Structure 1
Amino acid sequence: MGKEIIQVDQKVPILKGIPLSIQHMFAMFSASVLVPTIFHINPAIVLLMNGIGTLLFILITKGKAPAYLGSSFAFISPVLIILADKTKGFSHALGGFIVVGALICVLAIVIRFFGTKWIDIVLPPAAMGAVVALIGLELAGSAASMGGLILSDTYKAIDWRNVVVFIVTLAIAVFGSVLFRKFFSAIPVLIAIIGGYLISWPLGLVDVTPIQKAPIFSIPNFSTPVFDINSIIIIVPATLVIVSEHIGHQLVTSEIVGRDLIKDPGLHRSLLADGISTMLSGFCGSVPTTTYGENIGVMAITKVYSVYVIGGAAVFSMVISFLGKVTAAIQTIPSPVMGGVSFLLYGMIAASGLRILVDAKVDYSNSRNIALTAVVMVTGLSGAFIQLGSVQLKGMALAAVVGMVMSLIFYVLDHFHLTNDYEE
C-alpha cells in the first residue's frame, strides 16, 4: 500500500502538521542560508523575508499552489560582480532586486491578459531546461573554491583540513540522501552541515566568538536599497533565469500534485507573488526569492502537498530569524562545510534543469531542439560575454537571451515553412 496522499487544500492535524512543517523548513534551510552566507550578510533577515514571502505566495495563489519561496541562486554571480567593486556594497544590489521584482510583476500582468501560449515560443523546454541547469553548472567552480579545493584569493595553498571537512560534508550529504530513512531521508543536507560543522571544531576551523557575543534574541538587520544604474544593469538579466526557473517549477509541481497550476490558480498569480516577494525583500535588505526545488522534492517523496504544512514551515523560519545565537552560529559555519554542501546543491539545481527536459519529453531527434540546448549550454559555460557599456552580459543571463533569440528565429522560420521539418 502506498503512502497516504495529503492534498493541496487539505488541513492537517496540528500534532502531525508540526513535524511535517519542520521537515519542509529543514529542506529549504541549508540552501536558503547559503546565499546570504556567500554575500556576507546576516541570514536572519533572509529567513524572515522568505517566511513572509511564502505566506504572501500562498495568499495570492488562493492556497492552490504549494511552494516555498527561498533564496534565489540565480543572483549569486551578478551580486558577486557588484561586491567585487570596492566602491559598492550589497545595498547597490538591493536596488536591482527591486527592479527585477517589478519586472516580474509586469510580466505577470501581461500573462494575465495575453495568456501563456507565447511562453513555449520564447522559451521552449529545450531552452528552458538548459538555462535552469546553468544556474547550478555556472556556480560549480565557486563550490570548489569555497571548499578550498582550488587556489583562489581566499586560499593561497591547499589546506588538508579544508579538504577533509569538504569530503566529509559532501559524503554525508550524498550517502545520506541514499541511505537515511523516514524523517532523516528528507534532511540529509542539514545533517551534512551539522556533521561538517562538528568535524571542523577539533580541526580549529570554527570561531565561536560571534556566538558568545550574540544576544539570545535579536531583531533581523534591515537595510535600505541604493538604486545604481550600473548595478541594476548587472542584476536585471537574471530576471530571465528567475522566470524560466519559476515556470519550470510550476510545471514539475503540477505533475507531482496532479493539478494544472499554470491554469489554476494561474501562472500570473504565482509570478505576481514571486515578484512582490522579491521587491519586498529588496526594500528590507534581503535577497530575491524563488520557488524551491528542495521543497518540491519533499512533496514528491512524502506525498504531502498541503499548503497549510508549507505555511507552517514559513512561520518556523520567521521565528528562527529572531533567535540571535542561532543566526550567529549559522554565520560561523566554515567555508569548506558550505562548499561540500553547495557541491551537491548546485548539482541538484543543474539536475532540476535536466528534469525539465525529461518531463517535457524533449525530442532530440529534432534538429532545432538539440541546437537550442547545445548553444544555450555552451554559451553559458564558455565564458563568452557581451559588453554593454561598463557591464558584461555573460553566463546564464547571456545564455537565456541567446536561447530566446534562437527560439524566436525558429518560430519565424516555422511560420513560413522554411525548416526541413516540412520536407517530405
Structure 2
Amino acid sequence: MNAAFSPKTILTGAQMLFVAFGALVLVPLLTGLDANVALFTAGAGTLAFQWITRGQVPVFLASSFAFIAPIIACNQLYGTAATMGALMAAGGAYMILSVLVRLKGTDMLHRVLPPVVVGPVIMVIGLALAPVAVNMAMGKSGDGSAQLVAYDHAIWISMLALCATLLTAVFGKGIWRLVPILAGVFVGYMCALFLGVVEFSAVQQASWVAAPAFTAPEFKWQAIAFMIPVAIAPAIEHIGDMMAISHVTGKDFLKKPGLHRTLMGDGVATTLAASVGGPPNTTYSEVTGAVMLTKNFNPRVMTWTAIIAVVLAFIGKMGAVLQTIPVPVMGGIMILLFGSIAVVGLKTLFKAHIDVSEPRNLVIIALILVLGIGGMQIGGNEFALQGVSLCAIFGILLNLILPPAQSESQN
C-alpha cells in the first residue's frame, strides 16, 4: 500500500487536527465568524500551501490569533463583509512580502521590521483585548454592556477553564501538553453543563450535513488600510515557525522550498480563507510540537489533516455544538491566551538583546505600547487609524527616521 494512503498516515493526520482543533475554532468563536467555515478554510489553505511549497513542509495552517483584536474592531467599524475584504488585502501583503524576500532577501525584512518594532506590536495584539477577556470571564459581553451568564456561575466556569488550560500546559505529558486550549474548553464546558447554563436548542435544529455559512467579501479602502499593518506580526511569526520546523526535521525550509514560497503559501491561504468568510491562516506551532513528538516528518500527514478538516466542516451539528460553548469558558482561556501573546512579544525583545535604556529604543517601544493599548485614534468617520494598525505604522516610521542607537552605531 502507498505510504500516503496507509491507515497510520491517515490516523496521524487526524491526531494533528486534534492538536490544532481547540485553537482553530477558538478564533471564529471569539470573533463571531463561522467555526465550520474556519475548519474548511484551514483545510483548503493547508492544501494550497502544500501545492505552492511543492509538498515539502510538514505544517498545518489554521486560524491566526494575531488577527483576533483587529477582526473584532474592524467588524464593529466596517462590518463583516468589509473585514473579509480587508483580510484578503492582508493576505495580499504577505504575497508582496514574498516577492520582496525573493528579490532582496530576508535582510530587507529585518531592516524594516526589526525586533524593537515587532516585539511591542505583538505585545499590543495580546494586551489590547485584556478587558474583553476579563469581561467574558465574568459572564459579560466583550464590551461589558450586558451580563450574559450570572456572575456567580461565570466565575466558577471561567476559573476552572483557566486552571485546566494552564495545568495542562505546564504539567501535561506527551500529546496532552500540546492541547491546553482543548482541555480548558472541555473542563469549562463540563462545569457549565453542571450549572445548567448551556442551551442546546440550536443543536437540535441544525442539520447533520450542511454547507458552511460562507460569506462574500466587500472591499472598503478604510477597512483595508486598517488591517494591512496587522500582517506585520504574523509575517515575522511565520519566519520563526519555519525556523522551528526546520530545526525539528533537520531540513532548511528557508532555503528549500525557500522563505519566499512559504510566505506566498501563507498569503494565498489567508486570501482564500477571507474570500469565503474564514479567519486568516497561519502555521501552527502546536502542530510543529506534535511533529517533533511523533517524529513523523512526512508532509503527506498534513494533507490528511487538511482533508479531514474540510470533511468535518460540512457536519452542521458540529458548528452548532461549538456555538453552545458559554462566554465564561472562552473568557477564562482568553485570560491566559492574550497574556501569552504579550509574552511572545516580550521574548522577541529579550532574544534580540534590545537595550530598553537607549533613548531611541525606549521611544519606539513606549509609543507603540501606549498608542496601541490606549486606543489612540487618528482620523475621523471616513477613515481612521487605531489600535495595532496605528502603532505598527508609528513604530516602522520611527525606526526608519530615528538615528541608530549608540550601541548599534559603535558596532
TM-score, with structure 2 as normaliser: 0.88
Amino acid of the structure 1 residue aligned with 2:93: L
Is 2:371 the counterpart of 1:382? no
**C-alpha deviation, 1:167, in angstroms:** 0.5
> Distance between the aligned counterparts of 1:379 and 1:253, measured in 2?
34
Q: What is residue 49 of structure 2 aligned with on the other side?
A: 57
Q: Within 5 Å, which residues of 2 pair with 1:211-250?
A: 211-250=203-242
Partner of 1:3: none
1:131 partner SS: helix
Encode CA deviations 1:67-95: one digit per residue, 9 max, x unaligned: 2211123333333234335xx53112111
SS, match of residue 107 in structure 2: coil
| Aligned pair partner of 1:325 in 304, 317, 323 | 317
Report whether the alignment pairs 1:134 with 2:124. Answer: yes
Q: Secondary structure at the match of 1:154?
A: coil
1:125 pairs with one of 115, 133, 148: 115
Offset at residue 221 of structure 1 (A): 1.6
Kindly indicate whether the alpha-carbon contact (under 8 Å) linking 1:240 and 1:397 is maintained by their aligned counterparts in 2: no
Aligned counterpart for 2:355 among listed residues 337, 356, 364 = 364
- In proportion to residue count, which structure has more helix? 2
1:233-291 residue CA offsets vs partner (Å, 9 max, x unmatched): 32223223332332333344444444433332222111111111122122212122122
Q: Is the 8 A contact 1:129 1:356 kept in 2?
A: yes
Name the SS for the 2:195 alignment partner: coil
Q: Give the conservation status (yes or no) of the 8 Å contact 2:178–2:286.
A: no
1:104 is aligned to 2:94: yes
Distance 1:231 1:182 in 2: 42
- Percent same amino acid at aligned positions? 32
Matches for 1:25-424 after TM superposition, within 5 Å: 25-85=17-77, 89-148=79-138, 152-155=144-147, 159-358=151-350, 360-364=351-355, 367=358, 372-387=364-379, 390-410=382-402, 413-414=403-404, 419=406, 421-422=408-409
Structure 1 residues 97, 308: CA separation in 2 closer, same or farther (over 3 Å shift)? same
SS at match of 2:278: coil
The one-letter code matched in structure 1 to 2:178 is A
Q: Which amino acid aligns with 1:212?
A: Q
Asked if the contact 1:173–1:192 (Cα under 8 Å) also holds between the matched residues in 2, the reply is yes
The question of whether the paired residues in 2 share the 8 Å contact of 1:23 and 1:186 is answered with: no
Aligned-pair CA distance for 1:116: 1.8
When the two chains are superposed, the root-mean-square deviation of aligned CA atoms in Å is: 2.8
Alpha-carbon separation, structure 1, partners of 2:356 and 2:144:
42
Stretches of structure 1 lacking an aligned partner (at least 5 in a row):
1-10
Distance in 1 (CA, whole Å) between partners of 2:256 and 2:380 is 39
Instruction: Output the TM-score relative to the length of structure 1.
Output: 0.85
Question: In 2, are the aligned partners of 1:100 and 1:239 still within 8 Å (CA)?
Answer: yes
In structure 2, stretches of 5+ residues that fail to align are none
Q: Distance in 2 between matches of 1:374 and 1:296?
A: 33
1:194 CA displacement: 1.5
The structural deviation recorded for 1:377 is 3.3
Per-residue deviation, residues 107-153 of structure 1 (Å, max 9, x unmatched): 21222222221111111123223322332222222211221267811
Q: Aligned equivalents of 1:399 and 1:206: distance in 2?
A: 39
The one-character-per-residue Cα deviations of 1:6-53 (angstroms, maximum 9, x if unpaired) are xxxxx7894443443333212322222122212323211110011110
Whichever residue aligns with residue 362 of structure 1, its letter is: H
Alpha carbons of structure 1 residues 128 and 420: separation in structure 2 relative to 1, 3 Å: closer
Please give the secondary structure, in 2, of the residue aligned with 1:117.
helix
**Cα distance in 2 between the residues matched to 1:263 and 1:132:** 26
Distance verdict in 2 for CA 1:20–1:362, change over 3 Å: farther
Secondary structure of the structure 2 residue equivalent to 1:155: coil
Contact preservation (8 Å) 1:55, 1:311: yes
Structure 1 SS opposite 2:194: coil
Contact 1:131 1:241 in 2 (8 A): yes
Deviation of the 1:54 alpha carbon: 0.9
- In structure 2, relative to structure 1, the CA distance for the partners of 1:114 and 1:180 (3 Å cut) is closer
SS at match of 1:75: helix
- Do the aligned residues in 1 keep the contact of 2:69 with 2:125 (CA within 8 Å)? no
Q: Report the 3-state secondary structure (helix = DSSP H, G, I; strand = E; otherwise coil) of the residue aligned with 2:208.
A: coil
Contact 1:197 1:337 in 2 (8 A): yes
